[in-house]
Structure 1
Amino acid sequence: MITLLKSAKIIDPSSPFHNSVKDILISNGVITEISDTIDTEENYNTITLDNLHVSTGWFDTSVSFGEPGYEERETIENGLSVAAKSGFTRVAVNPNTQPITDSKSAVEYLIHKATNKAVTLHPIGALTQKCEGIEMAELYDMQQSGAIAFSDYKKPVENDNLLKIALLYAQNFDGLVLSFPKNKKIAGEGVAHEGVNATRLGLKGIPALAEEIQIARDLFLLEYTGGKLHIPTISTKKSVALIKAAKSKGLNVTCSTAVHNLLLTDEKLIGFDARVKVNPPLRTEEDRLALIEGVKNGTIDIITSDHNPIDIEEKKVEFSIAKDGTIGLETAFGALNSIFDLETIVTCLSTNPKSIFGIDNTSVTIDSKAELTLFTAESEIVFNENDILSTSKNSIFIGEKLKGKAYGIYANQQLILNT
């Protein structure tokens, strides 16, 4: 199939066509021509969209689907469709399934389920067996089968020595270790950020200290062991400062933050809507602004939707017992586009995630493999339940104003549009 993208503004700092409006011709999955005007021929699939922008394909490094075990939340097939229509050409899938992705066969199952899809699925293997934090999982075998990193999703590694050994062991095959930043003893039974709003509402608080003390420990261990450490979904001002200082010392540490922590604060707790119950929790305006500055100055490398479908039975209950998590693929770009310029968004959704997780970056240039995200930066909507593509409806952004939207993707020789 030959695809012609008409009048597309290219957002790709690595491309000689960056910030220019061009026609893009794709044949057999390869960009064959980029010109001011390319004549349409009968056998072309010509795509003309309002205010079309094109960048290298986006990669979400923290996505949860239900399958296997929780298919009622989201199947792999529907999840990949949601990702494509939300502009993501790749997703890293967390090991919070049943059974947990802690073996070679579990990794291969996920990859097999995503065969021949437009979106490439990259499994994240469990760091410890059954994500129980006791015995290290089969890291090398999982990597050989296709796992791109190792994490006990949303579960901190409480055993200091276990994390130390994992960081040392993973260096033998250039493995990437993820450590969720939460000290469970300090966090206790908290369900929201420890602050004025939680106190006013009578909710048990999770201190910012619970995150920061864990990050400090992880950085001390990394300094001792060497290796590569990624700290996912940081949420506080001091966490940004700790990681910035570690980078200045030359430690090989990277981090991400979630879209919702960049947009929303614990003011959303008012009303006890369990859709706003996430982990880490929504923090203060001071924390939110520090996260935004961390993205802008490069301390925070990656932005993730932290997409986590939860069925209604576990969300429409009392706030304190509701399950943590929000879906986020559909709203990621529209939310980020309200606070960042397009180059920053593409860097944090595409260039940096691929580099950190060991995936080759492509470029929007002639003779390059076509792995592209198609989007508009102009339209504005108030997001509502009818806009949700996921099976689960637990979106933290319902009722929020979003700017711009993803049209879809071209990847793996497939064009998927959400129009």
Structure 2
Amino acid sequence: MITLLKSATIIDTHSKYHNQTKDILIVDGIIKEINDIISQKENYQIVELPDLKVSTGWFDSSVSFGEPGYEERETLNNGLDTAAKSGFTSVAVNANTQPVIDNKSAVEYLINKATFKATDIYPIGALTQQSKGVEMAELYDMQQSGAVAFGDYKKPIENDNLMKIALLYAQNFNGLVMSFPKNNAIAGEGVANEGVNATILGLKGIPALAEEIQVARDLFLLEYTDGKLHIPTISTAKSVKLIKEAKKKGLQVTCSVAIHNLLLNDEELHGFDAKVKVNPPLRTKEDVKAIQKAVKEGVIDIITSDHNPIDVEEKKVEFSIAKDGTIGLESAFSALNTIFDIDIITKCISENPRKIFGLPSLKINEGETASLSLFTTEGDYIFSEKNIFSNSKNSIFLNRKLKGKAYGIYNNKQLVLN
């Protein structure tokens, strides 16, 4: 199949065509020609869309699909289709399945199930067996089978020595260790950010300290082991400060933030809507401001949707017992486009995550493999259920005003448009 993208504005700071509007001819998955005007032929698949922009393929570093074990939340097939329609050419899939992805066979199962899909799948293996935090999982074997990192999704490693050993052991094969930033003893039974709003509403609070003390511990262990660490989904101003200082010291630490923690604060708690119950919780306006600044300064490396489908039975219940999590793939770009310029967005959802997770870099130049996200930055709209492709509908951004949208992707010699 020969595909021709007409009048596409190229967003790629590493390409000589950056910010230029060109026609792009793709032949058998390779960018054959980039020019002002490329004449159409009958056998061409033509893509001509309003305000079409293309960037190197987006990579979401934290996505949960239910399969295996929780197919009622989401299947791999529909999940990957959702990612493609949302503009993502690659997703890193968390190990929170049943059984947990903690061995090479489980990693290979995910990869094999995704064969022939437009969106690539990269498993994150569990750091500990069954994500129970007791014994380390088969990290090396999982990496040899295709795992790109190791972490227990939303489960902190409470055993300090276990985290130390993991950071040391992973150095033998350049493995990336992930540590969820939460101290359960301090967080206790909290369900929302500890602060004025939780107090007014009578909700048990999760102090910012619960995150920050875990970040501090992990950074001390990182300095001791001289290892490589990724801290997913930070949410407080002090966490930013700690990580910034660690980077200045030269420690190999990277971090991410979930999109909802970038845009929303704990004032959303009023109304007791379980859609806004996430982990880490929505923090204060001051935290949100600090997190946004950290993205612009490059202290925070990656932005993730932290896509986590939850079935209605576990969300449409009393706030305090509702399950944490929100889907986010479908709203990811449109939400980010309300606060950041396109160069920051593409750096944090394409360039940086690929580098950190050890994937080859991408470029939009003639002769390069075509792995492209297609989108527009124009047009406001209200995000509603008709914009959701996931089986689960638990979106924190439902009924919110967003801007621009993903059109789809070209990847693996396939064009997917929503």
Look up the SS of the partner of 1:224 in the other structure.
helix
For residues 294 and 39 of structure 1, the distance between their equivalents in structure 2, rounded to whole angstroms, comes to 45
In the alignment, is residue 322 of structure 1 matched against residue 294 of structure 2?
no
How many residue pairs are counted as aligned between the two chains? 418
What is aligned with 1:48? 48
Look up the SS of the partner of 1:110 in the other structure.
helix
What is aligned with 1:282? 282
Q: Deviations over 1:319-378 (max 9, x none)?
A: 000000000000000000010000000000000000000000110110000000000000
What is aligned with 1:58? 58
What is aligned with 2:390? 390
- What TM-score do you get using the length of structure 2 for normalisation? 1.00
Look up the SS of the partner of 1:260 in the other structure.
helix
What is aligned with 1:13? 13
For residues 351 and 188 of structure 1, the distance between their equivalents in structure 2, rounded to whole angstroms, comes to 37
Q: Deviations over 1:258-289 (max 9, x none)?
A: 00001101011000000100000000110001
In the alignment, is residue 299 of structure 1 matched against residue 299 of structure 2?
yes
For residues 316 and 308 of structure 1, the distance between their equivalents in structure 2, rounded to whole angstroms, comes to 15
For residues 259 and 272 of structure 1, the distance between their equivalents in structure 2, rounded to whole angstroms, comes to 20
Amino acid across the alignment from 1:297: E
For residues 292 and 105 of structure 1, the distance between their equivalents in structure 2, rounded to whole angstroms, comes to 39
Look up the SS of the partner of 2:18 in the other structure.
coil
State the shift of 1:190 in Å. Answer: 0.2
For residues 50 and 167 of structure 2, the distance between their equivalents in structure 1, rounded to whole angstroms, comes to 48
What is aligned with 2:310? 310
CA RMSD of aligned residues (A): 0.4
State the shift of 1:87 in Å. Answer: 0.2
Alignment of 1:107-186 (within 5 A): 107-186=107-186
For residues 81 and 386 of structure 1, the distance between their equivalents in structure 2, rounded to whole angstroms, comes to 15
Look up the SS of the partner of 1:293 in the other structure.
helix
Look up the SS of the partner of 2:55 in the other structure.
strand
State the shift of 1:227 in Å. Answer: 1.5
Amino acid across the alignment from 1:227: G
Amino acid across the alignment from 1:323: K
Alignment of 1:100-111 (within 5 A): 100-111=100-111
State the shift of 1:416 in Å. Answer: 0.1
Q: Give structure 1 stretches of 5+ with no counterpart.
A: none
What is aligned with 1:375? 375
Alignment of 1:207-246 (within 5 A): 207-246=207-246
Q: Deviations over 1:360-413 (max 9, x none)?
A: 011011000000000000021111122111000100001111100000000000
Aligned residues with identical type, % of pairs: 72
For residues 35 and 406 of structure 1, the distance between their equivalents in structure 2, rounded to whole angstroms, comes to 23
Alignment of 1:335-414 (within 5 A): 335-414=335-414
Amino acid across the alignment from 1:177: V
In the alignment, is residue 259 of structure 1 matched against residue 259 of structure 2?
yes
Q: Give structure 2 stretches of 5+ with no counterpart.
A: none
What is aligned with 2:81? 81
In the alignment, is residue 90 of structure 1 matched against residue 82 of structure 2?
no
For residues 399 and 207 of structure 2, the distance between their equivalents in structure 1, rounded to whole angstroms, comes to 28
State the shift of 1:96 in Å. Answer: 0.2
Amino acid across the alignment from 1:241: K
Q: Deviations over 1:7-36 (max 9, x none)?
A: 000000000000000000000000010001
State the shift of 1:110 in Å. Answer: 0.3
For residues 290 and 270 of structure 1, the distance between their equivalents in structure 2, rounded to whole angstroms, comes to 23
For residues 412 and 136 of structure 1, the distance between their equivalents in structure 2, rounded to whole angstroms, comes to 34
Look up the SS of the partner of 1:404 in the other structure.
strand
Q: Deviations over 1:92-141 (max 9, x none)?
A: 00000000000010000000000010000000000000000000000000
What is aligned with 2:198? 198
For residues 362 and 221 of structure 2, the distance between their equivalents in structure 1, rounded to whole angstroms, comes to 34
Amino acid across the alignment from 1:21: T
Amino acid across the alignment from 2:268: K
